[in-house]
Amino acid sequence: MLEKLIELITQYIDIEPDEIKEGSRFMEDIGFNSYDFMCMLGDCEDAFDVEIDEAEAAGNKTVGALLAYLGGLK
Amino acid sequence: MAEIATLKELVYRADAVFGDEPFVREYLHRELRDKSFRTFRQDCDCFAVWVQEHFPNGVHAAVIGSTSYEYLTAWFGIQCSGNVTVPLDNANPAEKIADEVNRSDSEIVIVDKRHEGDIEQFRKLCPQVKYFIHLHEKQDNMLCLADIISEYSGKVPDSSPKENDLAAILFTSGTTGQSKGVMLSNGNLIDNATCEPDRNYRGQKRMTVLPIHHVFCFTCDVLCALWYGRILCVNDSLMRIPKNLKIFQPDDTTFVPMIAASILSKMQLAAEKNPDKIAIGKETFGENFSVIYTGGAYLSPEIIKGYEEFGIDIAQGYGMTECSPRICTGVKGCPKPSSVGRRVPGCDIRIVDGEICVKSRSVMQGYYKNPEETAKTLTEDGWLKTGDLGYVDDDGYVYITGRKKNLIILSNGENVSPEEIENQFACCKPIKEIVVYEKDNLITAEVYPNPDYASENIEAEIQQKIDDVNSGSPPAKRIAKLVIRDTEFPKTASKKIIRSLL
């Protein structure tokens, strides 16, 4: 799952995949703005075949937290 | 000139002309759902009869939700009953919504999932409200729109609203002070939706993205879809814009510039791996796509040019809630990309002391229960003072240079428009956001650096860019001081920076 999420992230942010860790924060460390982060969540719906609640998902501030949230939807 | 004068007539005309053709298209639980113009008119009628029965002497009804078929049914059902709709910002906290419910004298409150948990708080804060209605679900503590429509199935209201009757009170989000309730009549909204020459839009798809309480979205997306017979494709969440563009394959859409800029950045990133920019444009926006319309904030010519490289047209317009909202519309391939287009038909523009003033049938009736602010904004002979500074060129194109209230007046008497300076940094990669203001009689630029921009010394690069801009500017318009901040600027729900908080 981590690899797939990293691939999605690199479609938005010009960042080397190995710089992205589970503890990386989307805004502060990776450099997302709020709108791009929302769009990336939308991509997660297709990539992981889940239906995301916008308000719940946006509360996940790190890569690891989002992975746990997505895992819980499966 | 339209052959109709009210929103009720607009709904009835759409049924008569377009009938079973699709009006609202939604992607719900991974399936497309269409509702026709005819079904829409029928459902509006059902709700209208309920409203008339429960409020025979008239009512104001607040609607709070994101765009959906049910939201529109409530909005127009109130119109078909000859009453007043008060669309409120769904993103506001309960206390602010309650305040606007009270100040608009609303006696019905209609909500969706986002505020369903606030009903008991609304009951305490808004004692005049007699009915609470949920747009989508049955709840123990309120009515459900679907139940009302089912109960009143087949009934037809006997209302006959008039052109000059108040149709809606819309609160301007306002970057300073308390929000004001803009009163728009049936005639105001109909004039703005129908003022352009007939276009062959029937059956074309408009994807609606912006918040529905905003009149730019309401008039340009919803009213125009009813007028032209277009399919309104509902983007249900900001996070699904890219996906919904693929699902709906729209012909056009409306964005605020921030969304347009973000999507452009993503396409530019993709172009580093795939040089076929036209293919990327089609992959992102779909095969049918023709043009993005923007408004609400400044769109830099660099963004227009950036989109051109991907085969996408982007046209900038200009308006304000007080004018229902359109004053100018951009066109595809506008020859003057730094303009906001030309005035819409029927709208007169004059410049008074640098301020754009507007007179048209779209201009509001005034601010609800606020004669002082109305008198400041509307002249006795009906001109709307927009508060925007600008000019009209010899070919009729309108240019905005800034907001009158933001004008910096230095102690040497020089007047400086901060937006005019800020716009010169619109495509400066190290800068994410910039606000220019006066402090200690110095023109100061406060900057939030771009977190995506990889640089060892971003601050020095920003200073260098400021020096470059300064060298091409007259002395009075040069930035004297740079302040770097580490968070984004505070913004309104429509993503405008709140200058008064700086």
pLDDT band at B1 (very low <50, low <70, confident <90, very high): low
A56 contact B CB<8A: no
Closest residue to A54, CB basis, from B237, B432, B451: B237
Residues of B in contact with A9 (CB under 8 A): none
- Residues spanned by the domain of A13: 2-73
Query: Residue B242 and residue A13: Cβ atoms within 8 Å?
Result: no
Q: Find all residues with CB under 8 Å of B170, minimum gap 6, and list them.
A: B86, B87, B181, B182, B184, B213, B215, B321
Percent of chain B predicted with pLDDT > 90:
74
For residue B469, what are the CA distances in angstroms to B400, B407, B425, B447, B479?
20, 19, 8, 15, 9
Q: What whole-number distance in Å separates Cα of residue B58 and Cα of residue B77?
A: 13
pLDDT (tens digit, 9 = 90+) per residue, B2-25?
Answer: 689 999 999 999 999 999 999 999
Instruction: Give the pLDDT confidence score for residue B269 in this predicted structure.
Output: 87
Apex A43 CA angle, A42 and A44, nearest 5: 90
pLDDT tens readout for residues B155-172: 999 999 999 999 999 998
Task: List CB contacts (< 8 A) between B239 and chain A.
Answer: 38-42, 52, 54, 57
CATH architecture of the domain formed by B408-501: 2-Layer Sandwich (3.30)
pLDDT in tens, B90-138: 988 899 999 999 999 999 999 999 999 999 999 999 999 999 999 999 9
Residue B383 pLDDT > 90: yes
**Residue-by-residue DSSP string for B427-492:** T-TTEEEEEEEEETTEEEEEEEE-TT---TTHHHHHHHHHHHHHHTS-GGG---EEEE-SSPPPB-
Q: Does B493 touch chain A (CB under 8 A)?
A: no
Q: Is the pLDDT of residue B59 over 70?
A: yes
pLDDT, averaged across chain B: 92
For the record, the structure tokens of B294 come out as 């923007």
Q: Kindly state the average pLDDT of the residues B422-449.
A: 90
Please list every residue in chain B whose beta carbon sits closer than 8 Å to the beta carbon of residue A14. Answer: 269, 272, 452, 454
For B354-377, write each residue's pLDDT tens digit.
Answer: 999 999 999 999 999 999 999 999
Under an 8 A CB cutoff, do B241 and A39 touch? yes
The percent of chain A in helix, strand and coil, each rounded to the nearest 5, is: 65, 5, 35
Which long-range contacts (C-beta less than 8 Å, at least 24 apart) are formed by B332-336? B332/B290, B332/B291, B334/B304, B336/B393, B336/B395, B336/B397
A39 closest CB neighbour out of B242, B270, B272: B242
pTM, two decimals, is 0.85
A59 touches chain B (CB under 8 A): no
For chain B, domain boundaries? 7-193, 205-403, 408-501
**Beta-bridge partner residues of B367:** B182
- Confidence band (pLDDT; 50, 70, 90) for B494? low
Q: Is the pLDDT of residue B501 over 80?
A: no
pLDDT for B176 equals 53
Q: What local confidence, expressed as pLDDT, does residue A25 receive?
A: 93
- Rounded average pLDDT over B303-310: 94
Size of interface A-B (CB pairs under 8 A): 58
The answer, for B270 touching chain A at a CB cutoff of 8 Å, is: yes
Q: Is B496 on the interface with A (CB under 8 A)?
A: no
The nearest alpha carbon in chain A to B241 belongs to A39
Look at B430 and B409; give whichever has higher pLDDT. Answer: B430
Q: Which residues of A touch B30 (CB under 8 A)?
A: 51
Rg (Cα) of chain A, in Å, rounded? 11
pLDDT in tens, A15-39: 899 999 999 999 888 988 777 888 8
User: What pLDDT shows up at residue B173?
Assistant: 64
Q: For position A42, which CATH number holds?
A: 1.10.1200.10
Of B240, B452, B488, the CB nearest to A42: B240
Q: Domain count for chain A, please give it.
A: 1
Is the minimum CB–CB distance between A43 and chain B shorter than 8 Å? Answer: yes
As beta bridge partners, residue B439 has B442
Tell me which chain A residues have a C-beta less than 8 angstroms from the C-beta of B243. 42-43, 45-46
Helical ranges in B272-317 per DSSP H: 277-285, 301-309
Supply angle C-alpha B196, B198, B200, rounded to 5.
Answer: 125
The pLDDT of residue B14 is 98
pLDDT for the residue numbered B146? 98
| Whole-number Å distance between alpha carbons of B168 and B159 | 16
Q: What is the pLDDT of residue B417?
A: 85
pLDDT number for residue B177: 63
Residue type, B316: Q
- Residue A12 contacts B, CB cutoff 8 Å: yes
Is it the case that residue B214 has pLDDT exceeding 60?
yes
- Rounded to a whole number, what is the distance in Å from the CA of A33 to chain B's nearest CA? 8
ipTM higher than the 0.90 cut: no
Q: In this predicted structure, what is the pLDDT of residue B127? A: 98
Domains B205-403 and B408-501 share a fold: no
CATH architecture of B7-193: 3-Layer(aba) Sandwich (3.40)
CB distance B375 to B326 below 8 Å: no
For range B79-98, the mean pLDDT? 94
Region A46-61: what's the mean pLDDT? 86
**pLDDT score recorded for residue B427:** 80
In sequence order, the 6+-apart residues with CB closer than 8 A to the CB of B371 are: none
B205-403 maps to CATH 3.40.50.880: no
